[in-house]
Structure 1
Amino acid sequence: MQPRPKTDLVYCLRILKAIGKVNLYALGYDDPFVFFKANDQKDFNACLLQLLHIREQVSRISEDTKSCYTHIPWQTIKALRNVVAPDYVGIDKLVVFATITEHIPVFKSAMERVIQTELKRGNFNQTEYDMSKQSNFYRHIDFTTID
């Protein structure tokens, strides 16, 4: 089997890093309206930025990799930008909160499995992965859930 493009591992790790930040910023909130208003909307806005970052990284993952994981709603994730960016003022706080609390945990698990599987198949570079675990850049990733 042909190895996946070298950058796919990087994009997957960047997604997990962004998810880690979303989880950090949304920690402790169980009400979408409290979350929206908290800290003068800093936590909410920070999560929106990370959701957009996730979308951008998803759009960079190769079609070869995406085609192996058809259970992941790649197109839906890419479409998130269309919800957040064009009408930021009118953004649906309930949709954002549901995305963070319901969909992000499922997507996180799926991305961890992608990395696990592709490492085992030899399609992702193990040395690059091991080096990433030591990098401060990826400090928001819980690598124990992947290993």
Structure 2
Amino acid sequence: MGNRDLEYLDNIIDYCDKVENILNEFDSNYDEFIVNDIFQLSCSMCIIQIGENVDRLSDNFKENYNHIPWRSIKDMRNIMTHKYESAEFDVMWYALTVEVPELKEELVKLKNINL
């Protein structure tokens, strides 16, 4: 794993941590999420940054760890960036509460294996 890939992994993990912190701040309350713009926008910015850093990972890295849905992560970033008003709350919520923690867990394992 190259230093640049490691840097991007660290960034992604950091934004996964930020999602966790935001969810904790709002008590992981879906009802609050669908009505609170600050909650939504904070989480959306993290999703965007996760996707940006995924896009910067080397192709070689992504090919070596192709069990991670890199394309889906980037697609979610694109929705948050370009079609935010059409984003579905239940899809966003699932990404925030299930997929982001799973991504973080997997990336922490990869990082530990490669250090």
Tell me the TM-score normalized by structure 2. Answer: 0.90
Task: Output aligned runs, 1:18-97, within 5 Å.
Answer: 18-27=15-24, 28-31=27-30, 33-38=31-36, 41-97=37-93
Per the alignment, residue 5 of structure 1 pairs with 2
1:26·1:35 contact (CA, 8 Å) conserved in 2?
no
Consecutive aligned runs of 4 or more in structure 1 exceeding 2 Å deviation: none
C-alpha root-mean-square deviation of aligned residues, in Å? 1.3
> In the aligned structure 2, how far is the partner of 1:114 from the partner of 1:56?
19
Distance (whole Å) between structure 2 residues aligned to residue 63 and residue 90 of structure 1:
30
Higher helix share: 2
Q: Which runs of 5+ in 2 are unaligned?
A: none
Give secondary structure in 2 for the equivalent of 1:117.
helix
Provide the aligned length of Structure 1 versus Structure 2: 113
Counterpart residue type for residue 46 of structure 2: Q
- Measure, in 2, the Cα distance between the counterparts of 1:106 and 1:85: 22
Output the TM-score relative to the length of structure 1.
0.72
Q: From the CA coordinates, give the structure whose radius of gyration is larger.
A: 1
Deviation of 1:89 after TM superposition, in Å, equals 1.9
